[in-house]
Structure 1
Amino acid sequence: MDLIQGFFAHLLEKRLLVADDQDKGRFRAFLLATLKNFMANDWRHKTTQRRGGHVKTLTINADDFEQQYQESLSDTCTPELLFDRCRVDALLTNVVCEQRAD
């Protein structure tokens, strides 16, 4: 639904046209003020970032990781693979330390 259709749906749902009092001012001024408020609320709703935003939470269980790491050491693997595993271990350790610091 586009913005104008949404505005008129809002007018009808809230019965704002029935509540309009001619003593308070002109109908055109009423419509303009109502449209400006509706557009501001719509923009605010569309641009609001919710708590957590678009960030995924990554949970790392250190015990499970340590167990997997110890099991991987018993495997026969190439030096390159062992090097990659050590790099991953160092990276995950840094991530866990940074999360604890926050």
Structure 2
Amino acid sequence: MSADSKESSVRLIITGRVQGVWYRAWFMEKAINLALSGWIRNLNDGSVEAVVSGLRENVEEMKKTSWSGPPLAKVDNIDVGIYKEKIVNSGFRQLPTK
């Protein structure tokens, strides 16, 4: 991906009350609606990790949307980093806990 590319990929670490509240299912639905590829999974420390890839404007929208979550969730923080590994545009999926 070049610096002027219209696509981007980011890795999000979402902390707060984000496990056991349907956050991953909610996130997947939003990502699919934005035509993003990638994955999401719970981490053993209670946070959630997600990688999203697609049109830059849709990735930016997902980063903003991630703060709201489903009704029982409470997001305290989101660490955002650039994700450089290749992501195959094969939709969005949920991975096992790491």
TM-score (norm 2): 0.24
Larger proportion of helix: 1
Larger proportion of strand: 2
Structure whose CA Rg is larger: 1
Higher RCO structure, 1 or 2 (CA under 8 Å, sep 6+) = 2
TM-score (norm 1): 0.24
